[in-house]
Amino acid sequence: MRVFPDQLPADQPRQKTLQLISEGLQELGQYAHGNGIGMLLESHGELTRSDLLIQIMQPAQSPNVGLIWDIVNMWVDAQEAPAEVYINLKPYIRHIHVKDVRIVKGTHQYVPIGAAEAPLREAITALKIGNFDGYYSFE
């Protein structure tokens, strides 16, 4: 099951929000444990930085909780190199979202895979070298 974050509430301290998200994932993971499902948080919105995702995922870590790495979201928003992202988040990544994007005047224009700027080869190479054996989803 996919958990899809976006904007963090402005009226609550960021650390408190990250803690609540992590606790929610822990609870969902406990529920999922006996039901044969997994709970996956997608890197999206304000949660596209590795350091923030680690703060959420470390305390929530369980076999039933993981991360969907949206390569483009993290590259565009957090501007982190995919090889570095993979090293940092490897213990949590269970699923990969692959798409391509061109940035035009500050807006995202989604284009066919390989037709734009996203460093997909770097990300796929890191996944291959790291023996990733999860799923890929092309958007």
* Residue reference for tokens 């224009």: 109
**Environment class of residue 35 by beta-carbon count within 10 Å: exposed (0-12), middle (13-18) or buried (19+)?**
exposed
Residue 19 burial class via C-beta count within 10 angstroms: exposed 0-12, middle 13-18, buried 19 and up: middle
pLDDT in tens, 65-100: 999 999 999 998 888 999 999 999 999 999 999 999
| Domain spans of the chain, in order of start | 2-98
| Class in CATH terms, 2-98 | alpha beta
Q: What is the pTM of this model?
A: 0.92
pLDDT digits (tens), the chain, 139 positions: 899 888 999 999 999 999 999 999 999 999 888 788 899 999 999 999 999 999 999 999 888 999 999 999 999 888 899 999 999 999 999 999 999 999 889 888 999 998 888 999 999 999 999 999 999 999 8
Continuous segment of H or E residues that includes residue 40? strand 39-42
Nearest Cα to 56, choosing from 96, 3, 123? 3
